[in-house]
């Protein structure tokens, strides 16, 4: 199993993302472009990065100082729990409200209220759980 947010893990997520029309195609319809990073709350910098251009992930891997539009952080225990049982709309809202999931960058409130972004975002957490 690839280490969480490692180069290999992020590239497996890239492949899963690009193969899923509920994520890639839905975000292409709104011309979604963003640099998304993720990692652990205890770290100063993110671990992995994911670059999306018009819905398609064009690059993924280790974070190398890229400027992120979105930066999601949680403790490793919570990430591991969510890899086994992905967050849904309600559980994600609770994770953010209780501080288990933090957005160091990005406007979670605006995103989750926008159905064209919220659905694919929730689905991306389900994709994370499929990474081996």
Per-residue pLDDT band for 1 (boundaries 50, 70, 90) equals low
Q: Note the pLDDT tens digit of each residue in 62-111.
A: 999 999 999 999 999 999 999 999 999 899 999 999 999 999 999 998 89
* pLDDT score, position 2: 65
Residue 101: CB partners within 8 Å, gap ≥ 6? 72, 73, 74, 78, 87, 92, 95
Q: Note the pLDDT tens digit of each residue in 14-53.
A: 999 999 999 999 999 999 999 999 999 999 999 999 999 9
The sign of the dihedral angle between the CA atoms of 94, 67, 128, 79 is: negative
Gap between the Cα atoms of 13 and 48, Å rounded: 11
* pLDDT score, position 125: 87
Helix (H/G/I), strand (E/B), else coil: 80: helix
Closest CA to 4 of 90, 54, 73: 73
Give the torsion through C-alpha atoms of 18, 56, 9, 60, to 10 deg. Answer: 150
- All domains of the chain in start order, with CATH: 7-128 (3.30.1050.10)
Q: Note the pLDDT tens digit of each residue in 89-99.
A: 899 999 999 99
Residue 118: CB partners within 8 Å, gap ≥ 6? 89, 111, 112
pTM for the full model?
0.92
Output the average pLDDT for the chain: 94
Helix runs in the chain, H state only: 7-19, 24-29, 76-84, 89-97, 108-112, 115-128
Helix runs in 75-114, H state only: 76-84, 89-97, 108-112
* pLDDT score, position 100: 97
């Amino acid at each position: 199993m690839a280490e969480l947010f490692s180069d290999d893990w992020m590239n497996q997520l890239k492949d899963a993302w690009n193969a899923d029309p509920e994520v890639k195609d839905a975000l292409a319809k709104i011309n979604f472009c963003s640099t998304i990073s993720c990692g652990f709350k205890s770290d100063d910098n993110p671990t992995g990065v994911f670059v999306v251009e018009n819905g398609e992930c064009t690059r993924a891997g280790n974070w190398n100082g890229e400027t992120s539009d979105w930066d999601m952080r949680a403790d490793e225990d919570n990430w591991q729990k969510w890899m086994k049982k992905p967050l849904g709309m309600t559980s994600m809202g609770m994770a953010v409200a209780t501080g288990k999931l933090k957005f160091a960058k990005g406007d979670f409130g605006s995103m989750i209220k926008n159905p064209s972004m919220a659905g694919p975002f929730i689905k991306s957490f389900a994709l994370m759980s499929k990474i081996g």
